[in-house]
Structure 1
Amino acid sequence: MSVTQPQPPRAVSSADKPWLAAYPEGVPAEIDASLYPSLVALMEESFAKYAQRPAYSFLGKEWTYAQVDELSRALAAYLQGLGLPRGERVAVMMPNCIQYPVAVAAILRAGYVLVNVNPLYTARELEHQLKDSGARAIVIIENFAHTLQQCLPNTPVQHVILAAMGDLLGLKGAVVNAVVRHVKKLVPPFELPQAVRFNAALAQGRRSAYHRPNIGPNDIAVLQYTGGTTGVSKGAVLLHRNLIANVLQSEAWEAPARRTIPASEQPTAVCALPLYHIFAFTVNMMLGMRTGGKTILIPNPRDLPAVLKELRQHTFHTFPAVNTLFNALLNHPEFDTVNWRNLRVALGGGMAVQAAVAKRWLERTGCPICEGYGLSETSPSAACNPVTAKTFSGTIGVPIPSTEMKCIDDEGREVPVGTPGEIAIRGPQVMAGYWQRPEETARVMTADGFFRTGDIGVMDERGYFKIVDRKKDMILVSGFNVYPNEIEDVVAQMEGVLECAAVGIPDEHSGEAVKLVVVRKDPALTEAHIREYCAANLTGYKRPKVIEFRTELPKTPVGKILRRELRGTPQPPATPTA
């Protein structure tokens, strides 16, 4: 499936790009996004070039580039054997395990479109994404099969490939599966009689012929679901050329730090961020593939003892993370048992990095946190601080190569330097649009090809950008977008709720947390009832941390809820009325 999209307009002159002066030596102003016709070409080049190098490390076992090549080719042949037409959508719902990159490579090599799915989604959230994307197949780990079972009849999915954590671990895999299923009890009961086991699919694929499709730059590679600027979860259409551009942009930006890695060491990155998130997808998996690096897959970053135990086994150079993970690691008593001294790049994204965390990280590791900025709609990276910086700037940095950014007013006019405006981005990494939502696409794209982010920022005279506010009511919880509209729509359907509103409040651990204000219709409705309902219908980071009851919600004369008035000090508990 190909999308026709005009090439971005000619870049403005360097005089209009004050940020170029901040570029470290050797970082180009532009990258050549036409270097590869597709992500498949990029991956296949690395499979051949780095065949004997380890590509991934997971639970103590390593897989070489040649092994990932063979596994993904077999799975691609199996998928093609299902009779799915070229351009069909295939979902992947797994944590960071070796099957994830194998499945991604297989889907793309087979000529299909990857749909990344958060494995912690509830059945309601999963159903929406599968129906909206039109996915006809899904690769899912058995830990979450019970969720799929609940909504499968309401989706277009016809083929289910079911993985288990230990599938590719050999003899050790049986032990891993037994622990996951019976000791940790991480696999709730499920019935998916039509599912084909991952290893069975591989075996069948090895007996089948693989046909390499002709995939071009304008073919769709990924549907990356996001709330965009409204709150309705929709797929950002990322073309092969969008993602290739961002991989090459990220490579160029990190090059000054990567050049300091000893020639005797394979570039190695820690992948603690979930691969279904576009940050890890591009900056860990695809950039690692491009540079012949090794990626250490961390299946559960919340299990800090396990994370630190794993990191003690490796020499690693790159660590993308969010502020909450940096902070949690710093506060763990075993932090100093890991050798952090080989770290060259600590990338902070997804949410604002706190100055106090950045200061402590530099003191403890010797490597500064380099904060960047991006969105699902920009594949994701758009701006970053120079990797050579030794001090924390408190900004999101400057636009990366081949990227233009500006601050604009509501009419789309650029505002003067130092004046707050909505950040707008133009570059080869900007999405083609939202999947089957032309009106939403038109709403966020300017006539001259800039994407309106919904974030309010200022640019200083050096070309550094700083986020000062959000135009939208989005809540940012540990780097994940949470939209009040979605929470309100879900809770409003609950018996006993007259009306409700959700807002973001400061939280020292997650940056922001969700506060839910409820007006009761039924006086018997309790906080416990609401929490139980939210647990069944919203994934963890979307659930309210604070629930407050009021007799009414503040509103404008025309009836619009004034969310800003709900963020302050809680009112005394309301006396419920029938």
Structure 2
Amino acid sequence: MKLLSRNSVWKFGIRKIASRENNLTVRARMHEDPNKVFVIDDGKKITYGDFLKRAGQYVASLHQHYKISKGDRILARVSKNVDAIALYVACLRLGAIYVPLNPAYTKQETEHFVKDASPSLFVTCNESADKEFVGKVQHVLKESDLSASTSKLSPNLDVENLESDDVGVICYTSGTTGLPKGAMLTHGGLSSNAEALIDCWQFSKNDVQLHCLPFFHIHGLFVAFNCTIFSHSTLLWRPKFDVSDVIKHIPESTVMMGVPTYYSRLCGSSKLSPDLCKTFRVFICASAPLPDEVWKDFQKKSGHTILERYGMTEAQVVTSNSYSVSKRAPSVQGKPLKGVDVRITDTGSIEVKSPSLFKGYWKNPEKTAKDFTQDGYFITGDMGQWDKNENLVLLGRSKDVIITGGLNVYPKEVEDQLDQFDEIEESAVIGVPHSDFGEAVVGVIVLYDRDGDKTELEKRIIIDLKAKLAGYKVR
């Protein structure tokens, strides 16, 4: 990559280097107003200009010290902080492929991602757990060490010129059979979805988004984050969702995105009120079905009507309730976004064609072909129908999946672990209603010795599963 002078990039270079604006960070025009506040992190305000310089330091380090270039995969098991954003944006600007991992993944789960993604670099917030991947990955770096070393470098503000269908991110999504599959999301797909959303939800540069979602999941990494950068608005960056913390920051914000669990917990706060939320434009909910009682309770206590939308990793956001409050309703997922075509088959299966669709599953053309129709529609695995107002209504899932706290758990991956116990003859994993998480994961087992000590066996099973599976799969 050619290193341009800072002034030439700000004034002319980006447009010239990425003249077709295929790089997501260029298409978002992040450079356009360098003095605008981009992130508020624990009271510290960081402008777009200063942030891009920080991301440029990561570009310099990744490219110069670790020889990262277009198409290389970067595995990122990182904390939720501003440097995590800088790492992500640096990968996009380099044309490298960002692969986010849930920090809660166990050694056994992580081994699959390392083997499948074949990363050139693994950035980790858990050095003790990931040190064993030294030798399996060319570079394994502690996130704090990378942060410290990059801070000493001059920013490289160059941007890689890309095709619209070049992959920017690989997000792993579990399947009903086999190991998690890597969904390849392109710069063009991510950008088109963001542009449709800021139009649908009427984002402007005056918005302040209260961001308390995880930064390794499509909801927080793409939907929420991209709405901010494409509207040149501001992120109020919080490390995680906490009721008291959200209540504290609501008066400083205009938008929040969350999962049903967030809203049900906020309803339990005596401080939630219309006066507290008077600066807000919209509360948005997705990643799991929102119970009607939570929708109504939140409306009563906050004075706001939650806007529900529907999407998935492979297609991003597909449909949304209307921005017009009078047209919103509970238990409906709204109409397709601009440019998105949704059809429902005779059997009730939801199929989607969209410029935001993923490119396919990483190194898995067979699975890719199976999940697309001959005329290019993605088979979502969800079932639905249209209501009298032509809004999509979800009826359920044709694919086995339990959604707990907004995160997907596929029964087979838990059943496979249960079936390794010599004492277990047969197992089944199901989802049951849960007041906080929406659904809870429950294992049902049949033992060979039905008169044995079940209490001790249950304890041993839970300890073993927690060592092998992420915590949200075994609460």
After TM superposition, the score normalised by the length of structure 2 is 0.89
Summarize the alignment of residues 270-419 of structure 1 with structure 2, pairs less than 5 Å apart: 270-301=210-241, 303-309=242-248, 311=249, 315-336=252-273, 339-378=276-315, 380-390=316-326, 391-408=328-345, 415=346
1:86 to 70, 83, 87: 70
Match of 2:54 among 62, 68, 71: 71
Aligned length: 451
CA contact (8 A) 1:52 1:65 kept: yes
Q: Give ranges in structure 1 of 5+ residues lacking alignment.
A: 1-33, 165-195, 260-264, 409-414, 546-578
Query: Residues 113, 338 of structure 1: CA spacing in aligned structure 2 closer, same or farther, 3 A cutoff?
Result: farther
Take 1:95 and 1:288, find their aligned partners in 2: how far apart are those partners? 20
The residue matched to 2:163 in structure 1 has which SS?
A: coil
Which residue of 187, 199, 204 corresponds with 2:148? 199
For residues 285 and 392 of structure 2, the distance between their equivalents in structure 1, rounded to whole angstroms, comes to: 15
Distance 2:425 2:442 in 1: 17
C-alpha distance in 2 between matches for 1:488 and 1:55: 44
SS of alignment partner, residue 235 of structure 2 = strand
Q: Which residue of 2 aligns with 1:163?
A: 143
CA RMSD of aligned residues (A): 2.2
Highest CA radius of gyration, 1 or 2?
A: 1
Say which SS state the counterpart of residue 314 (structure 2) adopts.
helix
> What is the DSSP-based 3-state SS (H/G/I as helix, E as strand, rest coil) of the residue aligned with 1:453?
strand
Q: For the Cα contact (< 8 Å) 2:272–2:302, is it kept in 1?
A: no
Write out aligned runs for 1:166-315 (5 A): 196-203=145-152, 205-206=153-154, 212-228=159-175, 230=177, 232-255=179-202, 258=203, 266-301=206-241, 303-309=242-248, 311=249, 315=252
Taking the aligned partners of 1:441 and 1:83, their CA distance within structure 2 comes to 31
Name the SS for the 1:371 alignment partner.
Answer: strand
Q: Which of the numbers 149, 152, 162 marks the counterpart of 2:133?
A: 152
- Contact 2:133 / 2:140 at 8 angstroms: preserved in 1? no
Q: Percent identity?
A: 27
Deviations 1:270-300 (A, max 9, x none): 1111121111222221220111111112212
Within 5 Å, which residues of 2 pair with 1:507-526? 507-521=434-448, 523-524=452-453, 526=457
Q: Does 1:460 align with 2:387?
A: yes
Q: Distance in 1 between matches of 2:470 and 2:199?
A: 36
Residue type matched to 2:257 in 1? P
Q: Please tell me the residue identity of whatever aligns with 2:339.
A: S
Counterpart residue identity of residue 357, structure 1: V
Q: In the alignment, which residue of structure 1 is the partner of 2:23?
A: 38
The answer as to whether partners of 1:395 and 1:466 remain within 8 angstroms in 2 is yes
Mapping 1:126-137, distance limit 5 Å: 126-137=110-121
Shift of 1:343: 1.2
Correspondence for 2:91: 107
Distance in 1 (CA, whole Å) between partners of 2:20 and 2:437 is: 39
| AA of the residue aligned to 1:468 | L
Q: Of 347, 358, 363, which residue of structure 2 is paired with 1:431?
A: 358
Q: Distance in 1 between matches of 2:272 and 2:157?
A: 46
SS in 1 for 2:252: coil
Tell me if the contact between 1:77 and 1:110 (Cα under 8 Å) persists in the aligned partners: no
Instruction: Report the 3-state secondary structure (helix = DSSP H, G, I; strand = E; otherwise coil) of the residue aligned with 1:71.
Output: helix
* Structure 1 residues 138-196: Cα deviation after superposition (integer angstroms, max 9, x where no partner): 2223xx333223x414x7422233234xxxxxxxxxxxxxxxxxxxxxxxxxxxxxxx4
Counterpart AA for 2:308: E
**Whole-angstrom distance in 2 between the partners of 1:336 and 1:99:** 34
Shift of 1:307: 3.4
Question: What displacement does 1:125 show?
Answer: 1.3
Any unmatched runs of 5+ in structure 2?
1-18
Kept in 1: contact 2:287–2:407 (CA 8 A): yes
- 1:535 corresponds to which residue? 466
**Residue in structure 2 matched with residue 59 of structure 1 by the alignment:** 42
- Alpha-carbon separation, structure 2, partners of 1:535 and 1:450: 38
Task: Quote the offset at 1:42 in angstroms.
Answer: 2.6
Q: 3-state DSSP class of the match of 1:335?
A: coil
Separation in 1, partners of 2:52, 2:373? 41
When structure 1 is superposed on structure 2, of 271-280 and 330-339 the one drifting more is 330-339
- Aligned-partner SS, 2:376: coil
Question: In structure 2, what residue type is equivalent to 1:145?
Answer: E
Q: CA 1:532/1:430 → structure 2, altered by over 3 Å: closer, same or farther? A: same
Per the TM alignment, residue 64 of structure 1 is displaced from its structure 2 partner at its CA by 0.9
Question: What CA deviation, in whole Å up to 9, does each residue of 1:108-130 have, x standing for no partner?
Answer: 11220010111111111122112
The whole-number CA distance in structure 2 between the counterparts of 1:431 and 1:229 is: 19
Secondary structure at the residue paired with 1:490?
helix
Give the TM-score of the pair, scaled to structure 1.
Answer: 0.74
Q: Please give the alpha-carbon distance, in whole angstroms, between the structure 1 residues aligned to 2:469 and 2:240.
A: 20
